């Protein structure tokens, strides 16, 4: 193969240089916007800055000391973790379970898949507006429904109570992204040979046994993807939360990104906000490296 390549005159030089030409646009673009921004954020995190004017005053690690002594940061981190764990758990098990049920190919299974995926394409501003009206304690259709079926205990102040506000945020995110998991798992299931199910059936394996012994382990590629996207997505969570609860009531639904945003645009504490940015980036990059390692290993297994 090498000898053939060398025989094509003129393309030898191009051949050596061309991979870099192909990746150059994406790489330069990311460098100019993303790497530069990260550098700026790291620089700012060591300075005092009001976020409006251009002058920054060097303060050493004071922003980091302030950040790590702030209880609000840790409660935001905790909310992020709960939120991520719940959404990822439902996406993986709910998504896979629904994908399995779709395999029965009953009436409307194609419509079902499209319907569940649909919220993915809606703007966060639309999703937030719809749920704000549905979750309204008095006027909202959810509480009206619970009262109508005599389940008054479930008619709670959804967005007004710390616990239920966080639960609402989780539910809205599951509504938005469960369909994505179903679509991914449904196509992953096609790769599992039918004979495996046949022999499991002959061995007398029940539905749940087959689900946990065959379907779940055989879908590990999709599960890894859901984990990767779930964790990075969870750390990025911002739009729907800030539009639906704004981090409230109190700080009960505050996550890392809403904390960062408020520190800058409400408190004009640009340095602390930048330090928060560096903190989130550090977690994200660490997670990404672990995930890339897992990704590579899962690829090597096959």
Partner 1 sequence: MFSHLRISQKVVIQVILIFISVIWIVPLFTAVVESLKIGGFNNYLLVLNHPKISLPRVTYNSFFIATVSCLAVTFMVALAGYAFSKMQFKGKSIFYYSLLVCLAIPPAAILTPLLITTKVLGLMDTHIAVILPVVALQLPFMLMIVKNYFDTIPSPILEAARIDGCTSFKVFYMIIVPLAKPALINALVLTFISAWNEYLIPLLFIRKPAKYTVTLATTYFSGGMHQTPDLLAQQYAALILISLPSIVVYIFCQKYMQAGLTAGAVKS
Q: Which of residues 70-99 bind partner 1 (CB under 8 A)?
A: 98
Report 12-31 residues binding partner 1 (CB under 8 A).
Answer: 14-15, 18-20, 22-23, 25-27, 29-30
Q: Judged by CB under 8 A, which of 229, 246, 249, 251 binds partner 1?
A: 229
> Could you give the CA distance from residue 11 to residue 21 in angstroms, rounded to a whole number?
14
59 touches partner 1 by CB under 8 A: no
Q: Judged by CB under 8 A, which of 101, 147, 148, 151 binds partner 1?
A: 101
147 touches partner 1 by CB under 8 A: no
Task: Tell me how far apart the 2 most distant CA atoms of the chain are, in Å.
Answer: 82
5 touches partner 1 by CB under 8 A: yes
Tokens of 243: 């539009």
- Please enumerate in sequence order all residues whose Cβ is within 8 A of that of 82, keeping only pairs 6 or more positions apart, or say none: 166, 170
| Span near partner 1 by CB under 8 A; candidates 69-77, 83-91, 150-158, 252-260 | 252-260
> Could you give the CA distance from residue 227 to residue 236 in angstroms, rounded to a whole number?
14
Report 256-295 residues binding partner 1 (CB under 8 A).
Answer: 256-257, 260-261, 264, 270, 273-274, 276-277, 280-281, 284-285, 287-289, 292, 295
> Could you give the CA distance from residue 152 to residue 154 in angstroms, rounded to a whole number?
5
Q: Judged by CB under 8 A, which of 59, 85, 162, 225 binds partner 1?
A: 225
41 touches partner 1 by CB under 8 A: yes
> Could you give the CA distance from residue 287 to residue 283 in angstroms, rounded to a whole number?
6
- The C-alpha angle 111, 123, 286, rounded to 5 degrees, equals 100
């Amino acid at each position: 193969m090498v000898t053939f390549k060398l025989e094509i005159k003129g393309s030898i030089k191009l051949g050596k240089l061309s991979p870099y030409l192909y990746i150059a646009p994406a790489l330069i673009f990311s460098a100019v916007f993303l790497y530069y921004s990260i550098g700026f954020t790291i620089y700012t995190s060591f300075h005092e800055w009001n976020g409006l004017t251009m002058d920054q005053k060097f303060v050493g690690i004071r922003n980091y000391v302030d950040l790590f002594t702030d209880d609000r940061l840790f409660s935001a981190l905790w909310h992020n973790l709960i939120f991520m764990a719940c959404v990822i758990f439902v996406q993986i098990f709910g998504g896979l379970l629904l994908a399995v049920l779709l395999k029965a190919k009953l009436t409307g299974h194609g419509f079902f898949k499209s319907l569940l995926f649909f919220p993915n394409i809606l703007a966060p501003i639309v999703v937030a507006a719809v749920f704000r009206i549905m979750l309204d304690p008095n006027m909202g259709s959810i509480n009206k429904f619970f009262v109508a079926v005599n389940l008054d205990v479930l008619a709670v102040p959804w967005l007004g109570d710390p616990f239920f506000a966080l639960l609402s945020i989780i539910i809205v995110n599951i509504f938005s992204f469960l369909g994505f998991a179903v679509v991914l798992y449904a196509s992953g299931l096609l790769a599992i040979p039918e004979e495996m199910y046949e022999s499991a059936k002959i061995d007398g394996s029940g539905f749940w046994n087959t689900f946990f012994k065959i379907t779940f382990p055989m879908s590990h590629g999709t599960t890894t993807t859901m984990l990767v996207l779930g964790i990075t997505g969870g750390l990025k969570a911002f739009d729907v939360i800030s539009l639906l609860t704004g981090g409230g009531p109190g700080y009960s639904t505050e996550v890392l990104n809403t904390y960062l945003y408020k520190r800058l645009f409400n408190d004009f504490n640009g340095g602390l906000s930048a330090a928060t940015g560096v903190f989130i980036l550090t977690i994200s990059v660490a997670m990404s490296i672990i995930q890339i390692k897992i990704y590579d290993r899962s690829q090597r297994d096959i």
